[in-house]
Amino acid sequence: MKQTAGLLRLAVSIAAAIMAVSANGQGTSQTGPGKAATLTPTNSAAAVERPATGTRRDTYPFRGTIARVDLEERTVILEGRQARRVIRVLETTRLEREGRPMTLETLKQGERVGGTLRRNAAGQEEATLVRVVATRVEEEGRAGRAPSRTAEGREES
């Protein structure tokens, strides 16, 4: 008997909330004894703005090996499998080597770099961040080194 009365009160509360919301788009609904929740456009599901699916990001990652640095044009040309990639380096671009700031003049051919970039209105790629990952000399040193063995006999690189 008590369950039936409780279910009946719940059904009446839900019906009242639905009628209040459908009447003017706003209203109150009983959420429990003495508690009321106000439905407003700011907390309703219809008012939540979500980004459209399929939208492009502002920035995206890149990585590669420097083929050439052009100081006059402020560009870095990366080697590619099929083509070279030209990336503009702006005054606002952050340049880092081992976590420390550096300048465009200190970038060298053969260094491996990564970072983030964006396309400008003309469609050119502009770097927002360039990090030196390794130089060819460092990579050759790692490649020529024999793998060490752990106490269990497994190889480590």
Residues in Cβ contact with 126 at an 8 Å cutoff, skipping those fewer than 6 apart: 87, 88, 89, 90, 93, 117, 118, 119, 120
Q: Tens of pLDDT along 114-142?
A: 999 999 999 999 999 999 998 765 555 55
Residue 101: predicted pLDDT: 96
Query: Among 6-10, 16-20, 22-26, 99-103, which is the least confidently predicted range?
Result: 22-26
> Which comes out higher in pLDDT, residue 43 or 55?
55
Sign of the C-alpha dihedral, residues 106, 110, 112, 115?
positive
d(CA 26, CA 57): 36
Residue 82: predicted pLDDT: 81
Is residue 115 classed as helix, strand or coil in its secondary structure? strand
Stated pTM of the model: 0.53
d(CA 2, CA 152): 69
